[in-house]
Amino acid sequence: ARPPKTENVIFGKRGMRLEDAINESNEYYREHGSAVVYKKPTPVQIVHVDYPARSQAVIKEAYFRQPSTTDYNGVYQGYYLDFEAKQTKNKHSFPLKNYHQHQIDHFRRCLAQQGICFTLMQFADPNCVYLFPATALLRYWDDTTGRHSIPLKEVARVGYKIAVGFAPAIPYLDAVDALIAATHPQNSKGTIE
C-alpha cells in the first residue's frame, strides 16, 4: 500500500492541518469528559526490528498496509461514533474520489449496527467545515447517474456546518447532537451502574 496522503490544506488562521485540528479537538473532548474519540494508528506491516543493547527497539523494515476502516472512532453518550475527515480545494463541490471503497463499505457495516457515521468535509477556500452524514454520502456514492461530486449547496443543506473555533478547534459534537436528534429522536438509554 502507499503511505497515507498528508493533508496539505492548512486549517484556518492558525495554520493547523485538518487532522491536527481534529486530534486537538478529540483531546479537548477527552479532557472535558465529553467523548472518547481517537484517530487510529496508520497500519504498518513490520518486517524487521533491531534491538540494540541498552536502547530502544528500532523498526528497520516495514511497509504501509491498506487500512480497513475509517480514521476515527469512539464513544459519545452511549453512541458509537465513526468518521472520516477529508478536504478539498474545490470551491463549489466535494469530489467523491476523496473517499475509498473500504471507507464506504465500513460506513455501511457500522450504520447497520446503528453507529453514528459521518464525514467531516473541509472546504479550504473560504475555509469551512461540515459534518455530512454517511447515509447521505452513500446515496451519492450509489448514484449511478455519473455525478462525481457533491455540490456545496447540498453539503450545506443536508449537512451541519461546524462553527470552527479555538477550544476545541472543530467542535463537531454540536453537529453530532443535531445528527442524533434527527436520526434517533425517540432514544432513551439505560446507564451503567
Contacts with a second copy, residue ranges (CB under 8 A): 1-3, 30, 33, 35-36, 38, 40-44, 46, 49, 56-65, 68-69, 73-80, 82, 106, 109-115, 135, 183-193
Q: Is 71 in the site for Mg ion (CB under 5 A)?
A: yes
Could you tell me the sign of the dihedral formed by the alpha carbons of 170, 173, 178, 183, in that order? positive
Backbone angles phi, psi at 158, to 5 degrees: -90, -30
Rounded (5°) CA angle 176-181-184: 105
Q: Contact 18/122 with Cβ under 8 angstroms? A: yes
Binding mask 36-55 for Mg ion (x = CB under 5 A): --------------------
The C-alpha atoms of residue 115 and residue 107 are separated, in whole angstroms, by 9
From a second copy, Mg ion, none, interface partner of 141 (C-beta below 5 to 8 A by class):
none
From Mg ion, a second copy, none, interface partner of 94 (C-beta below 5 to 8 A by class):
none
Q: Is 82 in the site for Mg ion (CB under 5 A)?
A: no
For the beta carbon of residue 185, count every other beta carbon within 10 angstroms: 7
CB of 83 to Mg ion, least distance (A): 9
